[in-house]
Amino acid sequence: MIYGVSWYPEHRERAQMEAEIDLMVQAGVQAVRMGEFAWCRLEPCEGVFHFEWLDEAVDLLANAGIQSIVCTPTACPPAWLVMRHPEILYVDNRGVTRPFGGRRHYCYTNETYRRHCARIASAIGARYGRDPRVMAFQIDNEPAQEATGRCHCSACEAAFRTWLAARYGSVAELNRRWGTIFWSQEYDGFDQIGLPVNPIEPDAMPAIRAYYENPSLRLEYERFCSESQHVFQNVQRDALKAHTDKPVTTNGTGVATNSIDYYISFADLDVYAFDAYPSLRDGRISAFMHAHARGVKAGAPYWLLEFVSGGGHRLSGSGRLQPFPGAMRQSVLQAAVHGCELLLHFQFRTFPMGAEQLNYAILDQDGIPRRRFHEMRRTADDLVRLADLLDRTAPANEVAILFDYDTHWALRIKPVNEPAFDYIDWCGRIHDRLAEAGIGADVVPFSADLSGYRLVIAPSPFVMDEAVKTRLKTYVAGGGHLLSGFLAAAKNPDNLGFQTSLPCGLTDLFGVRVAEVEPVFAGTETRIALKTAGCDATSRWWLEMLEPETEVVHVANSTLSPPDGAPQTAGTKPPAGTELPAGTEPPEGTKPLAGTELPAGTEPAVFTGICLDTFRAGLPVLSERRYGRGLAAYLGTGLDDAALQAWLVAMADKAGVHAAPWRLGPDLEAVHRTGNGREAWFLFNFRKEAVCLEIATTTAEQAFDQVDALTGERIGNTGPIPANGLR
CB 574 within 8 A of CB 562: no
Maximum pairwise Cα distance, the chain: 96
Catalytic-residue membership of 201: no
The Cα–Cα gap between 304 and 341 comes to 8
d(CA 132, CA 665): 47
Reference 445, options 299, 302, 342, 304; nearest CA is: 299
CA–chain centroid gap for 285, Å, is 14
Set 36, 142, 146, 624: catalytic member: 142
Spatial distance between the Cα atoms of 552 and 589, rounded to a whole number of angstroms: 7
Q: Do the beta carbons of residue 652 and residue 662 sit within 8 Å?
A: no
Q: Which residues of 193-208 are buried (b: 16+ CB within 10 A; e: fewer)?
A: bebbbbbbbeebeebe
306 is catalytic: yes
| Structure letter (DSSP) for residue 547 | E
- Cis previous bond, 503, omega within 30: yes
Whole-angstrom Cα distance, residue 700 to residue 146?
55
> C-alpha 401: how far from its chain's center?
10
CA atoms within 13 A on the CB side of 222: 26
Tell me the C-alpha distance between 269 and 1, whole Å: 20
Burial class (CB in 10 A: 0-12, 13-18, 19+), 228: buried
Catalytic residue among 306, 436, 544, 549: 306
Nearest to 69 by CA among 79, 77, 57, 78: 57
Q: Residue 214 is which amino acid?
A: N
List Cβ neighbours of 521 (8 Å cut-off, separation of 6 or more): 417, 420
Q: Please list the active-site residues.
A: 142, 306
